[in-house]
Amino acid sequence: MITMGKTIKIISWNVNGIRASVNKGFYELVGKLDPDVLCLQETKAHNEIVEFISAKLDTYDLFVNSALKKGYSGTAVFDRLKTVNHLLDIGIEEHDQEGRVIAVEHELFYLVNVYVPNSGQALDRLGYRKTWDNALLEYLKKLDAKKPVILTGDLNVAHEPIDLARPGPNYNKSAGFTQTEIDGFKGFLGMGLVDTFRHLHKDKVQYTFWNQRFNARANNVGWRIDYFLVSERIIDKIKDSFILDDIMGSDHCPVGIVMEV
């Protein structure tokens, strides 16, 4: 049960392999950040491996969703807020093979942790991505009809030109900044979700992902593709939305919110 009148901190991070992150200070980082809920994407490990790694974080309940394919995709949620229920996937077989969605139900909201499919270097998966975005949108609408939604994770799209360092050369040419993907993101906004970071930091330029090639992180040639979106009716509860771009260990950095409950 969530104690009313307090704040909670939720952190989201694409770790690019949970086993690798353990060797890069994962436990120490979780201890330092001390989140009430930690959402991970791209765990790249089957359930039993994530469960073994989580044993040291015994103050949290663990919910894990792994891909059928070994070493690929996968999501996990570490939660100490005492959940009401949790749901894996979105109930469509075509989209439920890669461990991309965990919804954790609390008294006051649904927290949905997602790892949205990448459209591929040659945009060969862009058509599937459009189908996936539409299916996720319908799933979120059903949850939002019951109680407010917090959507977090690697959404694999830079929504506006301010959200990537080089919008011109990438528009409609690179995965993550095609009009199809932007329109998919606009669908989430259109159903009544609000981008918390942009709501609180209208003109701030800060990124969450850097290509591992071309010295991109050192030169801060990045993308903001990791988000917290919340139902508009609880946006006034969001007291902070932040990007921890000084934290290494992955090609993504953690993002978070502080929420009043």
Instruction: For the chain, give the percent of residues with pLDDT over 70.
Output: 98
Task: Indicate the pLDDT class of residue 82, thresholds 50, 70 and 90.
Answer: confident
- Each residue of 227-242: pLDDT tens digit? 999 999 999 999 999 9
199: phi then psi, degrees, rounded to nearest 5: -65, -40
Between CA 171 and CA 178 the distance in angstroms is 6
In this predicted structure, what is the pLDDT of residue 3?
Answer: 61
- Each residue of 242-253: pLDDT tens digit? 999 999 999 999
The overall pTM is greater than 0.85:
yes
In this predicted structure, what is the pLDDT of residue 4?
Answer: 63
Question: Hey, which residues are catalytic here?
Answer: 115, 154
Domains in the chain: boundaries: 7-260
CATH number, domain 7-260, options 3.40.50.970, 3.30.70.2740, 3.60.10.10, 3.40.1280.10: 3.60.10.10
